[in-house]
Amino acid sequence: MPDMLGRVGLISVAAAKELINSVHYAVTGVDTVRLENSVGRVLASDIKSNEDLPAFSRSTMDGYALRSSDTFGATESVPAYLNVKHEVFMGKMPDFKVNTGESAKIPTGGMLPDGADSVLMLEHTQKLNDDMIEVVRAVAPKDNTVSRGEDVKTGELIFKKGHQLRPQDAGVLAALGISKVTVFKLPKVAIISTGDEIVPPEGNINPGQVRDINAYTLAALVKVNGGESLIMGIYRDDFDTMSEALSKSLNSSDMVLLTGGSSVGTMDLTPKIINSLGLPGVIFHGVAIKPGKPTIFGVVNEKPVFGLPGHPSAVMVAFDVFVKGALRKLSGLTEDSVSEYAGRIRAHIAKNISSMPGREDHIWVKVETRDGKLWAIPILGKSGLINTMVKADGFIVIGADKRGISEGDFVDVRLFQR
């Protein structure tokens, strides 16, 4: 039986995610950025190496470059003896060859000279004089060395299109001589606040009014998840006013987030407005999740639109569960199985928590260490309270197939981004 908004029951979180992921979005354009500004950006094209890395065979230890066959059988009781004919200097190409019975002093990172196939560590030698060493341990070919192209070979695919660059990736690109990369533009996310009671954060408020919390919470979430936010302002619960605001936002952004106006009530206009502005319109309205039940998802001309609840805690949950995935897809980021588990830790739950079967519950928790074990301390409170978010380090999820969890059970804590 349809509810007060005409919805025929709530859909599961899994079904909602599947619908969000199945929709085609108009991915943003591309930019070229310098390497020092590239971390966190998403590659718009494959990157292949144009050279070998390292570009030359080199030593990984301070020691002596030599022919490994000259050390075979060498021990402390039966050492081998080698002449020290040359020395390798950092940043310079050796202009000599190591012949049988010879060695060359070499520093870590020094270029391996012709004729040498390994490096003997200083610790495994005794210096007899300036021209001869005693070898007390044998080495095999390529011991204590890195060969040319052993790390990366010319033509090798380094990163695929859709890869989000990390600090270590910037280091690899620098090593390959790449100082600029082509990346997708950051998605622009318009944020609309609705409600006759909502006022800007600055200044005094009158009885019955509340400051706009959600716009600034969402702007921060958008930033840490690879987008640019556009705070469009606060609009009255009026069809024409909200319709104009949404239309303007769609024209200036790649995604729109509306807060308020998604729950049951006479002022609930969001679904009607989304449907009036383009196809396919509202995809779903209402999810079996707490908090965040009245979440709306729609698409207007290939641009995703989310109607989020009014309570700040529900907004944070809805963003993490639903919006984040759409934003990542919109940014050009390819599917990454690891990202689903990033920022999670295992801890014991500190008390019993009951849950309603058929609904996915998200519970704020604070993480503490007790007797060498991690414990997740539930921070419970009414959905309209905001201080619970500040006290929490993250949240846990009680699946729709469970009736709750018992004190001492292991739980996955999804830590907030910093």
Strand partners, 280: 300
CATH superfamily of this structure's domain 58-146:
Molybdopterin biosynthesis moea protein, domain 3. (2.170.190.11)
CATH topology of domain 13-29+186-330: Molybdenum Cofactor Biosythetic Enzyme; Chain A (3.40.980)
Residues with Cβ within 8 Å of residue 94, at least 6 apart in sequence: 86, 88, 104, 111, 112, 113, 114
pLDDT at 4 over 80: no
Instruction: Identify the weakest region by mean pLDDT among 235-239, 261-265, 292-296.
Output: 261-265
Percent of the chain with pLDDT over 70: 94
Could you identify the residue written with the tokens 């049988």? 100
Q: Where are the domains of the chain?
A: 13-29+186-330, 30-52+157-184, 58-146, 341-415
**In this model, does residue 1 exceed pLDDT 50?**
no
Which range, 20-24, 230-234, 238-242, 269-273, is most confident?
Answer: 230-234
Select the highest-mean-pLDDT range: 92-96, 311-315, 352-356, 412-416. Answer: 92-96
What pLDDT digit, counting tens, does each position of 101-159 carry? 999 999 999 999 999 999 999 999 999 998 999 999 999 999 999 999 999 999 999 99
pLDDT tens across 310-341, in order?
Answer: 888 899 999 999 999 999 989 998 866 556 66
Residues 80-98: what's their mean pLDDT?
A: 97
The CA distances from residue 260 to 81, 90, 306, in Å, are: 83, 64, 11
Amino acid identity, residue 218? L
d(CA 106, CA 115) in angstroms, rounded, equals: 14
pLDDT of residue 263: 53
262 pLDDT more than 70: no
Does the pLDDT value for residue 7 go beyond 80? no
Averaged pLDDT of the chain: 91
Give the per-residue pLDDT at 267: 43
**Domain at 341-415, CATH homologous superfamily:** MoeA, C-terminal, domain IV (2.40.340.10)
Write down the H helix ranges in 80-225. 167-175, 214-224
The tokens describing 285, both together, are: 């309205």
Residues 164-223 pLDDT 10s: 999 999 999 999 999 999 999 999 999 999 988 889 999 888 998 889 999 999 999 999
Can you give the pLDDT at residue 120? 98
**Whole-number pLDDT of residue 383:** 63
Question: What is the pTM (predicted TM-score) of this model?
Answer: 0.82
Confidence of residue 238 (pLDDT cuts 50, 70, 90): confident
- Which CATH code fits 30-52+157-184? 3.90.105.10
